[in-house]
Amino acid sequence: MESQSNNPLATPSQEQKPHKAGFVNIIGNPNVGKSTLMNALVGERLSIITSKAQTTRHRILGIVNGEDFQAILSDTPGIIKPAYELQASMMDFVKSAFEDADVLVYMVELGEKELKDEAFFNKIRNSKIPVLLLINKIDNGNEETLEASRTHWKEQVPNAEIFAISALENFGVAQVFNRILEALPVSPPFYPKDALTDKPERFFVNEIIREKILIHYKKEIPYSVEIDTEEFFEEDNIIRMRSIIMVERDSQKGIIIGHKGAALKRVGIEARKDLEVFFGKKVHMELYVKVNKNWRSSERELRRFGYNGK
């Protein structure tokens, strides 16, 4: 997918330098602000941001290009102990983020004390590549709390460089980005220089619809849903699409649709408005709900929806 706007952090070079490029992988516990940081760095809304945990399911690449650099940022699912096949696949995406990283960004929130998986934590502590440890949400605390957090994480991850940021308020993000650029290896670009992400348009249609479901539905409903955009036709002035909301049970289908279809209509209207902003043109959307029993535990279905850990 091509970029439609320039990242504000990606300023042109003043002199000719060797081109740098590399993979910058963001990891951490659920809901610490990884997606907010990713979107702030890329300058586009690529990742779902809600107050619910586990909103990022795939590994999403966002690409920031400058005259003499290409930073390929990876937003990964929050680290959890998997309870079913879908979550196991999500953790495969996190494992893959360790394998190709040139810079590792480990994100915690102010007051947090540990990563939820000791094996991942040991990989961070023993990493041979630059590790940037970001203490996020510092606007929720005071100087004393921040200093205690700095001391704790310096002891826990002595190989890391520590930055205090507020991704939501965009505080400290530019300093982190500049350090990322310093740490990138000299390399030609991996993707076309006008690329914004490696994901196709349908992926972002699915993610924006899923975001609305995360916002408006409670309990297990958001985590039992997958979106499949079956049709996507782009014309000069309009994009026509047909998307299916997959649920696991008939009772969930009824909840998604709502009384006289009102709940489903709200999801469709809000998703369409966001998609029109995202694509910069009018969108016509058809939205349906289907039951796909136990899709979260089916390896075949998970492969179909792209959960293959790569």
**Which residues are part of a known binding site?**
28-35, 75-79, 136-139
The DSSP line for 77-120 is PPP----SHHHHHHHHHHHHHHHS-SEEEEEEETT----S-HHH
| Cβ(103)–Cβ(181) below 8 Å | no
Antiparallel, parallel or unpaired: β 69-75 and 60-66: antiparallel
Distance CA 46, CA 211 (A): 11
Residue 28, strand partner residues: 107
Q: Binding site for GTP: which residues?
A: 28-35, 75-79, 136-139
Cα torsion at 41, 179, 57, 284 (round to 10°)?
A: 20
Of the candidates 7, 13, 118, 109, which has an alpha carbon nearest to the alpha carbon of residue 69?
Answer: 13
Distance CA 209, CA 213 (A): 7
| Residue 219: half-sphere exposure toward Cβ, Cα within 13 Å | 3
Distance CA 243, CA 256 (A): 14
> Edge-to-edge strand order for the sheet containing 226-234?
226-234, 238-247, 282-291
The three-state secondary structure class of 230 is strand
| Cβ(177)–Cβ(42) below 8 Å | no
Neighbours of 302 (CB within 10 A): 20
Residue 135 CA, distance from chain mean position: 18
